[in-house]
């Protein structure tokens, strides 16, 4: 059952769809990426390099108000690949350069707000890594772009002009990043990107205004994921369809918390830490993301 939207929200949703279409961001990302994807390698990589923002870094809040890093999808992928390599008696190494708070701009130009080991930028550090392993079989995973948009949803409402600008910035920035990674990588390097789940669906649980915010977040999520898919496809990079794995478009209701909620809302509450206001995935959600990546390998 769909919740009727106030007239202002219906107009805002229409504006998102019209603007996304005008920007060329309405293509289905998974299908677009598949068309430009490289053949799937038959063997495990010698090196795995994880790039991106807090999701790549494995950031999670903790119930006591703190946080941890290094407990995310990249670690889950690395564990699986290490097991596969060990079964074949082959060496395997994992490097995670993900930095919480990273945007497409700071990834390319420096300035990640979280402590990091490089003096210039994450992208420059990745380029050095790839140039140093041009003859090796390397897997690169990348998630970036969420922080170009997340700032536009402060205080339980969505700043539509900010979000549309952020989506355009994320798409162009990701394309530039992928171009530089491709130039640095050797012929045996495989890059796999991912699209994003929609944590703002959790607002549905906060009342009528929250339902309107959740409804508006969906077309914005579609537009951002389309921008990611188009950038990936332009550089021959397959996209792990995390949005689909999180049932982002599933509106049928399911039992949750003693009531009935849309499945997409239930997934966000089950697989992220939005119950305490943290948009990051929890252990179960990170495993879903890892499995979605691994299915592309």
Query: Beta strand pairing status for 138-143 and 189-194?
Result: parallel
> What pLDDT does 12 receive?
41
> What pLDDT does 33 receive?
39
> What pLDDT does 154 receive?
77
Q: Rounded to the nearest 5°, which phi and psi values hold at 257? A: 60, 30
Give kind and range of the element (H or E) at residue 140.
strand 138-143
47, 95 contact by CB (below 8 A) = yes
> What pLDDT does 9 receive?
39
> What pLDDT does 155 receive?
73
pLDDT < 50 stretches in the chain: 1-41
Which DSSP category does 149 fall into? T
Burial class (CB within 10 angstroms; exposed 0-12, middle 13-18, buried 19+) of 277: exposed
> What pLDDT does 3 receive?
34
Q: Rounded to the nearest 5°, which phi and psi values hold at 253? A: -90, 150
What's the pTM value of the predicted model, to 2 decimals?
0.87
């Amino acid at each position: 059952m769909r919740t009727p939207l106030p007239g202002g929200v219906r107009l805002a949703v229409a504006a998102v769809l019209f603007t996304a279409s005008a920007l060329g961001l309405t293509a289905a990302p998974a299908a677009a990426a598949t068309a430009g994807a490289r053949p799937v390698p038959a063997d495990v990589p010698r090196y795995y390099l994880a790039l991106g923002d807090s999701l790549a870094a494995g950031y999670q809040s903790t119930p006591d108000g703190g946080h941890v890093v290094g407990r995310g999808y990249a670690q889950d992928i690395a564990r699986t690949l290490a097991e596969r390599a060990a079964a074949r008696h082959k060496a395997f190494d994992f490097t995670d350069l993900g930095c919480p708070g990273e945007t497409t701009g700071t990834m390319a130009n420096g300035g990640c707000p979280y402590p990091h080991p490089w003096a210039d930028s994450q992208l420059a550090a990745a380029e050095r890594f790839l140039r140093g392993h041009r003859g090796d079989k390397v897997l690169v995973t990348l998630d970036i772009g969420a922080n170009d948009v997340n700032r536009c949803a402060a205080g339980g409402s969505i700043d539509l002009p900010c979000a549309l600008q952020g989506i355009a910035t994320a798409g162009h920035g990701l394309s530039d990043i992928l171009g530089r990674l491709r130039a640095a990588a050797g012929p045996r390097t495989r890059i796999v990107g991912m699209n994003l789940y929609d944590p703002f669906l959790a607002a549905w649980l906060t009342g009528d205004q929250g339902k309107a915010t959740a409804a508006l977040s969906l077309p914005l999520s579609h537009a951002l994921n389309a921008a990611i898919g188009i950038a990936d496809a332009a550089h021959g990079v397959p996209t792990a369809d995390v949005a689909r794995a999180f049932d982002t478009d599933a509106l049928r209701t399911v039992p949750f918390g003693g009531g009935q909620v849309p499945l997409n809302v239930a997934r966000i509450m089950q697989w992220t830490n939005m119950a305490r206001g943290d948009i990051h995935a929890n252990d179960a959600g990170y495993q879903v993301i890892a499995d979605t990546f691994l299915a592309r390998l």
